[in-house]
């Protein structure tokens, strides 16, 4: 297994620990090697749904989920998806910290 595939599996493991149990069970089933015939069409449909996110019901959340599923099978997607996940996680953490710091600063200003 390549370094990118190992990192992607670690990121999926972390995601499984953070989501609700029902979603984690579904994700574990879809990650199995024998589920490839479900994972690839599902990933393509999610990417297409993300592209057409301006329509009702469809949303931009579908695009990254579809790319994640496709990256399990398409080696050329593994490195960019890993990079996007890591950068996105860092930006999320930075944003949460800045919100927390602003809230603390407001609380300290109150008499």
pLDDT higher for 41 or 104? 41
The answer to whether the beta carbons of residues 50 and 58 sit under 8 Å apart is yes
Residue pair 62/89 in contact by the 8 Å Cβ criterion: no
Collect all residues with Cβ–Cβ distance below 8 Å to 56 and sequence separation of at least 6.
none
pLDDT given at position 37:
93
Residue 63 exposure: Cα atoms within 13 Å on the Cβ side? 9
pLDDT for position 70: 92
For 50-64, how does the pLDDT look when each residue is reduced to its tens digit (9 = 90+)?
A: 888 777 777 888 888
> Running DSSP on this structure, what letter comes out for residue 2?
-
Whole-structure pTM value: 0.73
């Amino acid at each position: 297994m390549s370094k990118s595939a190992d990192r992607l599996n670690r990121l999926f493991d972390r995601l499984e620990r953070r989501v609700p149990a029902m979603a984690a069970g579904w994700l574990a089933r879809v990650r199995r090697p024998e589920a490839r015939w479900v994972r690839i069409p599902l990933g393509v449909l999610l990417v297409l749904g993300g592209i057409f996110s301006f329509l009702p019901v469809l949303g931009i959340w579908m695009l990254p989920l579809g790319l994640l599923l496709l990256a399990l099978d398409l080696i050329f997607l593994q490195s960019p998806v890993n990079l996007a996940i890591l950068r996105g996680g860092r930006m999320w953490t930075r944003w949460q910290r800045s919100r927390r710091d602003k809230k603390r600063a407001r609380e300290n200003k109150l008499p």
